[in-house]
Amino acid sequence: MRIKIASVGEPDLRGEARPLTPEEIRSQRIRDLIEHMRETLSDAPGVGLAAPQIGEPLQIAIIEDKAEYHANLSGADLAERERRPVPFHVLINPRIHFVSPPEVAFFEGCLSLPGFTGIVPRAGRVLVEALDHLGQSVRIEATGWYARILQHEIDHLRGTLYIDRMWSRSFSSVENYNRHWKSTTTAELRQAFENRS
């Protein structure tokens, strides 16, 4: 069952999500919610979805960056973004630790702001401690694009959107991004937009 994704301006996206109890994590309701989120993410399609995006103020996020999503990117683009496939997984009650400063800047989009993108500086390396769908502790050390996805989704659980962190002058429609910026290197993007927000 595909669930409607909240769009920017809806209050659900700006609240602080609450942690789940061990009993909730093991409940059928949460198992069903995770499955509905997975179907919604696949249909969208996207690489991550947080429970507040579907009107549930709970600290649940799912992530999956399928290899097929990389098909329209060159090998050079994939290397520069440090983007590799990431299998489906669930994060519950995550805590994020930044291992490097937010100095990796690149365009980001969001299913709650369809059709737009902006440059967001993010940490290139993070450590996330969370529970999985079974309530077991997980520890994730991530770099590159995977680290960016984790930061984006965990931000959603705190009521933060990428537009709160982006270089405001870089905000663009996806159409114009594809026309003007898609093949631009990170260094060129910095020259065009950094310190001009």
pLDDT class of 91 with cuts at 50, 70, 90: very high
pLDDT > 70? residue 195: no
Specify if 6 maps to a domain: no
> Tens digit of pLDDT for each residue in 35-77?
999 999 999 999 999 999 999 999 999 999 999 999 888 888 8
Q: How many domains does the chain have?
A: 1
Specify if 2 maps to a domain: no
SS3 state of residue 52 = helix
- Give the C-alpha separation, 87 to 168, whole Å: 32
Supply the mean pLDDT for the chain.
94
Q: Give, in order, the Cα–Cα distances in Å from 90 to each of 8, 14, 132, 133, 175.
A: 23, 21, 5, 6, 31
SS3 state of residue 162 = helix
In the chain, the percentage of residues whose pLDDT exceeds 90 is: 84
Specify if 112 maps to a domain: no
Specify if 154 maps to a domain: yes
> Tens digit of pLDDT for each residue in 125-159?
999 999 999 999 999 999 999 999 999 999 999 99
- CA gyration radius, the chain: 16
Specify if 60 maps to a domain: yes
Give the CATH number of the domain where residue 22 resides: 3.90.45.10
pLDDT class of 196 with cuts at 50, 70, 90: low
Specify if 181 maps to a domain: no
Give the range of the structural domain holding residue 25, as residue numbers without chain letter.
Answer: 11-106+120-164
- Give the C-alpha separation, 92 to 137, whole Å: 9
Which positions are catalytic?
A: 153
What is the per-residue pLDDT for 1?
A: 63
What is the per-residue pLDDT for 191?
A: 86
Q: For 109-126, what is the mean pLDDT?
A: 97
> Tens digit of pLDDT for each residue in 159-179?
999 999 999 999 999 999 999
- Give the C-alpha separation, 9 to 22, whole Å: 32
What is the per-residue pLDDT for 68?
A: 93
